[in-house]
Amino acid sequence: MSKHTALTADDIQRGYDNNEWLGWGYLGGREHLSEDDRNRADMIVVAYANNHRWDANRLFVWLNSRPGRWFADDPFGRHATACLGADLTD
């Protein structure tokens, strides 16, 4: 079994530097959250990602996704977990 490197909120922040970021997704939506809500939402994202053993690449795919944007619209609502676990395959 390979060792999983835990992701942090810094990995979310690094998404802005990824040349493949399209300007939306969770990265775009989180800009509209208050600082406190953004910090809380980031912790939810990181905890979910680590519990599901995502690597930084998988995290970025979600950060850049439509479900990521929907999560940012209501990160503490009843549909938030569904947005985190959305199937991102095309």
pLDDT tens for each residue of 22-55: 999 999 999 999 999 999 999 999 999 999 999 9
The alpha carbon of 79 is separated from its chain's Cα centroid by a whole number of angstroms, namely 15
Within 10 angstroms of residue 55's Cβ, the number of other Cβ atoms is: 12
**pLDDT at residue number 44:** 97
Q: Indicate the DSSP class of residue 26.
A: H
**pLDDT at residue number 1:** 56
Rounded CA-CA distance 72/42 in Å is 10
Domain boundaries, the chain: 21-84
CA distances 37 to 72, 76, 79, Å, are 10, 9, 16
Token digits of residue 90? 């095309």
